[in-house]
Amino acid sequence: MTSVGTVASKDSTTAPRARRRRSDALSGRLRTVGMYMLSIAIGVGVWQLVAMRYGSALVASPAQTLVAAKDLAADGTLLNSVIASSRRILIGWGLGLVVGVPIGLLMGRLTVIRQLLDPYIEFFRFIPPVAFVTLAVVWLGIGEASKVVLIFYTSVFIVTLNTIAGVLSINESKLRAATSLGASRWQILRFIVLPATVPHIVTGARLAMGNSFLTIVSAEIVAAQVGLGALIWTSRNYGRIDWVFVGIITLGILGFVFDRILRVVASRVLRRYGVKL
């Protein structure tokens, strides 16, 4: 009887705690959404005041931008631009991730590889992708390849450097202990190096994504007929400030969405290693 009563007592206390945790989590999410909405409302209000101060010739108002966005969406220009820019960013960024992570792991683990490649990494990472726009067009043409290569260029060094930093931050005693216990190089890489480096890789991926958005505009301005960068440049030629605002705001929204998706995916990966993003 005592054991049954104890179990019933535990159940009666556990259920309210679980409900309280769910209620706290829900209220926390609602509070976050509320703060986001308040922040957006304040930003739109400031934007409206600036537009009223300087006029539509210099600053398109929120209402004018919304009307322009509807017009561009109606004829398919906005959607085509978003799809074209997103495709280029994702391909170039993905290639930078696929190439940068293995190179970073090799440079972090093997001193010889690091000494051989470090001069090139340190040289090219200080040259902005904009400097290579003309060469990319001359070498690869005005097609998709030139834009993808530029985004790859801006992504791969960031991912590589963050991966190297993650590998070098591992406590050497852990590596020596694993070696003394008979772990192979593959086992050390899989069970020690990679878990410790994943948070740095995620950080590098997020930074590389931001730089990809910086690069896509300059690449599309020079050599693209479709894309958000091309839309901004064409709008400038036609004197449509409202279209320029549509392109800029769409870039910001797209980057925000991409980063949130990346954070959600990364948080699930990091949770396996006990790391919170």
Reading the block at residue 13, the tokens are 């206390």
Where do runs of H (alpha helix) occur along 55-143?
A: 62-74, 77-109, 111-124, 133-140
d(CA 155, CA 144): 17
Residue 220 pLDDT level (bands cut at 50, 70, 90): confident
Give pLDDT, residue 276. 56
Give pLDDT, residue 81. 93
Residue 180 pLDDT level (bands cut at 50, 70, 90): confident
Give pLDDT, residue 277. 53
199 and 263 Cβ atoms separated by less than 8 Å: no
d(CA 69, CA 85): 17
Residue 165's alpha-carbon distances to 72, 85, 110, 130, 199, in angstroms, are 44, 30, 13, 26, 11
Ranges 96-110, 151-165, 261-275: which has the least confidence? 261-275
The candidate with the shortest Cα–Cα distance to 157, out of 212, 218, 100, is: 100
**Dihedral sign from CA coordinates of 240, 245, 248, 250:** negative
The candidate with the shortest Cα–Cα distance to 91, out of 156, 163, 141, is: 156
Give pLDDT, residue 188. 78
- The amino acid at 116: L
Residue 3 pLDDT level (bands cut at 50, 70, 90): low
241 and 264 Cβ atoms separated by less than 8 Å: no
d(CA 97, CA 152): 9
Give pLDDT, residue 23. 67
44-50 CB contacts, 8 Å cutoff, 24+ apart: none
Give pLDDT, residue 7. 46
At 50-91, the pLDDT tens digits run 989 888 788 889 999 999 999 999 999 999 999 999 999 999
Give pLDDT, residue 249. 94
Phi-psi region of 55 (alpha: psi -120 to 50; beta: other; left: phi over 0): left
The candidate with the shortest Cα–Cα distance to 85, out of 28, 137, 150, 136, is: 150
